[in-house]
């Protein structure tokens, strides 16, 4: 079996949701609350490699309590979306970028690589099988895809698992933040860190998100929806939010975001925004940003817009940043540049403007 490519043959559920049930879900899907009728699964073992690939009815995994992931968190995931265009065709946005990143994450977490073609086969087979779940009708709805991989070996020794499960589940979604494009406030924690040099900050592993929760709750206590992390050891550079990257927009047309220093997740949306910046008349700057510079740019009015970005949240305007001792308000939250970038990215994803970068992949 080793070396064979995966085809994810489809085993259809005998109990698909009815058209009525589906319409009810799509009327108000929320985010990550409802899941489609099917899921993709494949298993890897050290001896055989990837095998046992299939699309099967959505349902619980049977997990042995000694499965390694439950103890040592050897797990990674991806986030991507399928979009329905006005002509009813269904598309993915830069899925090769997610395929590349899951392998970067796999390397860091000592999980097996999955070939890009196999990764894409799982995604496209699932989207085709559950295509009626891809929301239509304009708006900002899509089918959120969640590929993930975890140590399913039953073994309590601390070592790389010799059996791993890959899966993809899908969830129809609306905006990640319930307010949509309403600006959100961001809490700046100096109590907690997300990642350190040599750590797992640039891998998309569940542990990073678990570690961010306590800081996020600190933020909720201060009326904020997300938390901004500062580099752990020297506290000398701004990194990213709990689950998204961060950008400032200056009044003189610069688009500024922290450079990838190995402790930051390389967001697909982040990279896409940097690529389209020039088309929108903005100059992209990726560099180290100290907290003094970052907040100074806001305080002296140089930066008048800020936003967070990610696959789930697309681009969400930021109203202000709060620290334990200070507050920095953006002069023009949800401003013209933020909305122009947001609309441009969404227009590409929903096929309303030319895909000049060749980012869209048609599924069906
Ligand atoms: C995404 O943006 O897709 C993520 O994986 C982050 C999470 C906040 C949902």
| CATH number, position 227 | 3.20.10.10
Is the pLDDT score of 1 beyond 60? no
Domain match, 323 and 189 both? yes
Q: Is the CB of 310 under 6 A from ligand 1?
A: yes
Domain match, 158 and 272 both? no
Q: Does a structural domain hold residue 36?
A: yes
Domain match, 299 and 213 both? yes
> Percent of the chain scored above 90 by pLDDT?
92
Rounded average pLDDT over 161-190: 94
Q: Does a structural domain hold residue 125?
A: yes
Nearest CA to ligand 1 atom 7: 243
Nearest CA to ligand 1 atom 5: 79
Last residue of a domain, one of 144, 173, 202: 173
Q: Which pair of tokens denotes residue 160? A: 């790389």
Q: Does a structural domain hold residue 251?
A: yes
Ligand 1 pocket test target in 264, 272, 312, 345 with most atoms within 8 Å of CB: 312
Q: How many angstroms is it from 14 CA to the middle of ligand 1?
A: 31
Domain match, 148 and 208 both? no
Alpha-carbon distance of 135 to 311, in angstroms, equals 16
* Predicted pLDDT at 233: 84
Domain match, 270 and 335 both? yes
Domain match, 140 and 257 both? no
Task: Confirm if 255 and 273 have CB atoms less than 8 A apart.
Answer: yes
Task: Confirm if 44 and 50 have CB atoms less than 8 A apart.
Answer: yes
Rounded average pLDDT over 227-251: 93
Q: How many angstroms is it from 307 CA to the middle of ligand 1?
A: 15
Across the chain, mean pLDDT equals 96
Residue located via tokens 């907290």: 291
Domain match, 46 and 139 both? yes
Ligand 1 pocket test target in 313, 314, 345, 349 with most atoms within 8 Å of CB: 313
Is the pLDDT score of 34 beyond 80? yes
In ligand 1, which atom is closest to the CA atom of 31? Answer: 9
Nearest CA to ligand 1 atom 8: 243
Rounded average pLDDT over 216-227: 96
Q: Does a structural domain hold residue 1?
A: no
> Which of 69-78, 170-179, 292-301 comes out lowest in average pLDDT?
170-179
* Predicted pLDDT at 3: 59
* Predicted pLDDT at 47: 97
Q: Does a structural domain hold residue 310?
A: yes
Full domain range(s) for residue 227: 184-349
Using alpha carbons, select from 282, 41, 66 the residue that is nearest to residue 170. 41
Q: How many angstroms is it from 314 CA to the middle of ligand 1?
A: 9
Nearest CA to ligand 1 atom 6: 243
φ, ψ of residue 172 in degrees (nearest 5): -65, 135
Domain match, 157 and 195 both? no
Last residue of a domain, one of 118, 143, 173: 173
Domain match, 104 and 232 both? no
Domain match, 96 and 238 both? no
Q: Does a structural domain hold residue 109?
A: yes
Rounded average pLDDT over 161-172: 98
* Predicted pLDDT at 203: 97
Q: Does a structural domain hold residue 7?
A: no
Task: Specify the CATH number for the domain of residue 150.
Answer: 3.30.470.10
In ligand 1, which atom is closest to the CA atom of 310? Answer: 2
pLDDT, one tens digit per residue, over 101-142 is: 999 999 999 999 999 999 999 999 999 999 999 999 777 899
Alpha-carbon distance of 257 to 101, in angstroms, equals 20
φ, ψ of residue 266 in degrees (nearest 5): -85, 85
Residues with Cβ < 8 Å from 113, sequence gap 6 or more?
103, 106, 107
Q: Is the CB of 263 under 6 A from ligand 1?
A: no
Domain match, 191 and 306 both? yes
Last residue of a domain, one of 111, 142, 173: 173
Task: Confirm if 58 and 35 have CB atoms less than 8 A apart.
Answer: yes
Q: Are strands 49-57 and 184-188 parallel, antiparallel or unpaired?
A: unpaired
* Predicted pLDDT at 137: 73
Question: Per the structure, how many domains does the chain have?
Answer: 2
Q: How many angstroms is it from 329 CA to the middle of ligand 1?
A: 25
Q: How many angstroms is it from 294 CA to the middle of ligand 1?
A: 24
Domain match, 77 and 205 both? no
Q: Is the CB of 338 under 6 A from ligand 1?
A: no
Q: For residue 9, what pLDDT band results from cuts at 50, 70 and 90?
A: very high
Ligand 1 pocket test target in 244, 264, 265 with most atoms within 8 Å of CB: 244
Q: How many angstroms is it from 337 CA to the middle of ligand 1?
A: 23
């Amino acid at each position: 079996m080793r070396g064979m490519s995966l085809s994810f043959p489809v085993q259809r559920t005998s109990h698909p949701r009815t058209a009525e049930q589906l319409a009810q879900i799509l009327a108000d899907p929320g985010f990550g609350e409802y899941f489609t009728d099917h899921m993709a699964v494949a298993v890897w073992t050290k001896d055989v490699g990837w095998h046992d690939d299939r699309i099967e009815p959505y349902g619980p995994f049977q997990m042995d309590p000694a499965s390694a992931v439950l103890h040592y968190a050897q797990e990674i995931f991806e986030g991507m979306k399928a979009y329905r265009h006005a002509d009813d065709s269904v598309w993915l946005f830069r899925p090769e970028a997610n395929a590349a990143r899951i392998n970067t994450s796999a390397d860091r977490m000592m999980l097996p690589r999955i070939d890009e073609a196999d990764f894409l086969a799982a995604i496209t087979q699932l989207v085709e099988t559950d295509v009626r779940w891809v929301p239509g009708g304009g708006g900002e709805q899509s089918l959120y895809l969640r590929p993930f991989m975890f140590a399913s070996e039953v073994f309590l020794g601390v070592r790389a698992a010799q059996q791993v499960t890959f899966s993809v589940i899908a969830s129809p979604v609306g905006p990640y933040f319930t307010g949509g494009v309403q600006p959100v406030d961001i809490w700046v924690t100096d109590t907690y860190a997300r990642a350190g040099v040599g750590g797992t900050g640039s891998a998309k592993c569940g542990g990073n998100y678990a570690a961010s929760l306590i800081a996020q709750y600190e933020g909720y206590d201060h009326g904020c929806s997300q938390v901004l992390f500062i580099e752990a050891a020297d506290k000398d550079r701004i990194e990213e939010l709990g689950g998204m990257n961060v950008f400032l927009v200056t009044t003189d047309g610069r688009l500024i975001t922290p450079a990838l220093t190995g402790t930051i997740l390389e967001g697909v949306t982040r990279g896409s925004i940097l690529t389209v910046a020039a088309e929108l008349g903005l100059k992209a700057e990726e560099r180290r940003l100290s907290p003094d510079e970052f907040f100074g740019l806001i305080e002296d009015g140089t930066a008048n817009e800020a936003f967070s970005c990610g696959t789930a949240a697309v681009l969400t305007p930021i109203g202000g940043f709060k620290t334990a001792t200070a507050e920095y308000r953006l002069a023009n939250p949800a401003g013209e540049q933020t909305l122009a970038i947001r609309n441009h990215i969404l227009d590409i994803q929903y096929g309303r403007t030319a895909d000049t970068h060749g980012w869209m992949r048609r599924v069906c």
